[in-house]
Amino acid sequence: MNLSLFNDKGFWKTAVRLAVPVALQNLLTSSFTLADTLLVSNLGSVALSSVGMIGQWAWLMNMILVGFCSATTVFVSQYWGIKDIKKIRRVSGISIIFALIVSVLFTVISLVFTRGVVRIFNSDPSVISAGSEYLKCVCFSFIAVALTNILATILRSVENVKLPMYVSAFTTVLNIFLDYSMIFGKFGFPALGIAGAAIGSSLAEL
């Protein structure tokens, strides 16, 4: 058995330098959603169900973007290895355009067919009403979310892993503060309930 890899200090130093910030960013991204869920749960089961339904709609968009981000990572990483900046810019441009198309499409559908989107996941009238209120506000963050994901992917592919981590940390903290303030009417903000959660999340992403 070849154990040379385990003794390669240079490899492990590089691996840790790249992997730890990426792992922390993924953790922060998950915390972003978790914070929303925990805060909204104080508004009751209807509000919690409504946010959960919209979360599934956003998850569908993210799954489409994740597939494209994975392909972007492969190409940009290879071009970064040979320092072909021209092709990196070309792939990055295509990725950004695709992310915009997908996010704009989901935003338009959310605004035009708001109740129809919520009805896909739940038929309860109270959930549809609350979910529609939430979706009309939070859908404005879809474009920012898509661009953030694709830009973070590009940066990580060229070994710039700290900036996406710092951005995720800032937006997560800001989201918790805005959600708490706007849901419950703290620090001079109006108490907007579930709409406050949507507006807070949208502002944090923007």
Summarised one tens digit per residue, pLDDT across range 57-113 is 988 998 898 888 888 999 999 999 898 999 999 999 999 999 999 999 999 999 999
Distances (CA, A) of 41 to 120, 138, 149, 151, 205: 22, 17, 27, 32, 21
- Here the contacts of 119-124 (C-beta below 8 Å, separation 24 or greater) are 120/57, 121/53, 121/56, 121/57, 122/49, 122/53, 124/46, 124/49
Instruction: Name, in order, each residue with C-beta under 8 angstroms of 184's C-beta and a sequence gap of 6 or more.
Output: 42, 191, 196
Backbone angles phi, psi at 98, to 5 degrees: -60, -45
In three state form, how does the secondary structure of 15-71 look? Answer: HHHHHHHHHHHHHHHHHHHHHHHHHHHHHCHHHHHHHHHHHHHHHHHHHHHHHHHHH
Please give the torsion angle defined by the CA atoms of residues 141, 66, 163 and 18, in that order, rounded to the nearest 10 degrees. 160
User: Distance (Å, rounded) from C-alpha 84 to C-alpha 187?
Assistant: 50
Is pTM beyond 0.75? Reply is: yes
197 pLDDT above the threshold of 90 = no
What's the pLDDT band for 116 if we cut at 50, 70, 90? very high
Instruction: Name, in order, each residue with C-beta under 8 angstroms of 116's C-beta and a sequence gap of 6 or more.
Output: none
Place of tokens 């003794």: 7
What's the pLDDT band for 203 if we cut at 50, 70, 90? confident
User: Distance (Å, rounded) from C-alpha 113 to C-alpha 136?
Assistant: 10
